[in-house]
Structure 1
Amino acid sequence: MEISVIDNSPLFEVRASAHVSVAPNDIYAVVSDLSRSGEWSPECQGGAWVSGEPSTVGALFRGRNFRPQDVVGWAPLVRGTWYTQARVVAAEPGRTFRWMMLSHACEDQESIWGFDIEPADGGSLLTHHFRMGKATAGIHKIVAKLDETARKKFIDDWTAKLERDLKETLKRIKDISEQR
C-alpha cells in the first residue's frame, strides 16, 4: 500500500520572524490576547475566551474565522465564516505563547500555533510559527476525494498560503505594536 503525502509528519511546519521595536513583555501583551487576532490575522477575525483565565495555560478560546473563495480556490475547503476552539498550551510572558487547535469533539490535535519572542536590537525578534504533526480530521476530509497528485498540490499550495499568512500577521503586529 502506497503511503500518501497526508501521512507525513509533520504535515506542515512553517515559521517567519520580524524585528519589532517594542520590548518583549509589551509585544507579548499583544500576541497573547487572541481576542485581538482580528487586528492582525488574515484568517482569524477574533473571538472570545470561553473558559479559564484569558491568555493562561489551559484557557480555551473560540475563534471566528473567514476564508474567501479565492484562497487555494481549487481545493474543497470551508469557505466563508467558521469557528474553531483552541487551548493555550504555553504562556511565558515576554518569551512564548502557543495554542493547540481542538477537534469538534474538543480533543487535542497536533496543530499548534504560536509566537516566540527574544530581546533584539532595542526591541524584540518575534517569530510566528505553525506545526501540524499528523493530519487533522479536517485535512483528511479536504483531501478524501483527491488523488495523490492533487494531495501533493494541496500540501504545496497550503504551505505557501501559511507562509504568506505568517508574514502578513507579523507585518500587522509590527505596525500595531510600534504605533502604540
Structure 2
Amino acid sequence: MDRSISDESPLFELRARVDVSAAPDDVYAIVSDLPRSGEWSPECLGGEWASGAPSSVGAVFRGENLREESVVSWAPVVRGKWTTHSEVVAAEPGLTFRWAMRDTAGRRQQSVWGFDIEPTEGGCTLTHHFRMDKATEGIRGIVAGMDEQERRRFFIEWGAKVEGDLAATLQRVKAVVDKG
C-alpha cells in the first residue's frame, strides 16, 4: 500500500517573522492575551479562557472563529463561525507563547501555534509559527473522501493559506504594538 501525503510528519511547519520596536515583555503581554486575538488574527475573532490561569501552561482557551467561503473553496473545510479549544503548552514571558489545538474529546493534538520573541537592539523580532505533526481530527475529516491528487492539492493550498495568515497576523500585531 502506498503511503499518503496525510501520513507525513510534519504535515506543516510554517513561520513568518517581523521586527517590532517594542520590548520583548511588552510584545509577549499582547500575543499571550488570546482573548485579544481578534485584533490581529485573520480567522480568530477572540474568545475566552475556559479553564486555568489565563496565559499559563495548561490553561484552555475557547476561540471563536470565522472562515470565509473563498478559503480553499473546493475542499470540505469548516466555513462560517465555529469554536475551537486550545491548551497553552509553553508560556515564558518575553520569549515564547504556544498553544496546541484540542480535538472534540479534549485531547491535545499535534497542531501547535505560537510566537517566539528574540530581543534586538531596537526592540525584538517576533516569529509566528505553526507546526502540525500528525493530521488533526479536522484535517483527517477534510481529506477522508479525497484521492491522493486531491489531498496533495489540499495540503499545498492549505499551507499557502496558513502561511499568508501567519504573515498577516504579524503585520496586525505590529500595528497593535505600534499603537501602544
CA–CA separation in structure 2 for the residues paired with 1:170 and 1:86: 20
Per-residue displacement from partner, 1:47-88 (whole Å, max 9, x unpaired)?
000111100111110000100100111111110001000110
How do 1:18-33 residues align onto structure 2 when only pairs under 5 Å count? 18-33=18-33
Does structure 1 residue 83 correspond to structure 2 residue 83?
yes
Does structure 1 residue 72 correspond to structure 2 residue 72?
yes
Matching residue of 2:93? 93
SS of corresponding position for 1:38: helix
Q: CA RMSD in A?
A: 0.5
Matching residue of 1:157? 157
SS of corresponding position for 2:38: helix
Does structure 1 residue 148 correspond to structure 2 residue 151?
no
CA–CA separation in structure 2 for the residues paired with 1:6 and 1:179: 42
SS of corresponding position for 1:26: helix
Gap runs ≥5 in structure 2:
none
CA–CA separation in structure 2 for the residues paired with 1:131 and 1:153: 19
Amino acid at match of 1:166: L
Matching residue of 2:102? 102
CA–CA separation in structure 1 for the residues paired with 2:86 and 2:140: 19
SS of corresponding position for 1:3: coil
Deviation at 1:179, TM superposition (A): 1.1
Amino acid at match of 2:94: G
Gap runs ≥5 in structure 1:
none
CA–CA separation in structure 1 for the residues paired with 2:144 and 2:28: 39
* Corresponding residue pairs, total: 180
Deviation at 1:121, TM superposition (A): 2.8
Deviation at 1:21, TM superposition (A): 0.5
CA–CA separation in structure 2 for the residues paired with 1:169 and 1:17: 10
Q: Percent identity?
A: 60
Amino acid at match of 1:94: G
Matching residue of 1:55? 55
Deviation at 1:120, TM superposition (A): 1.1
Amino acid at match of 1:158: W
| TM-score, normalisation: structure 2 | 0.99
Matching residue of 2:34? 34
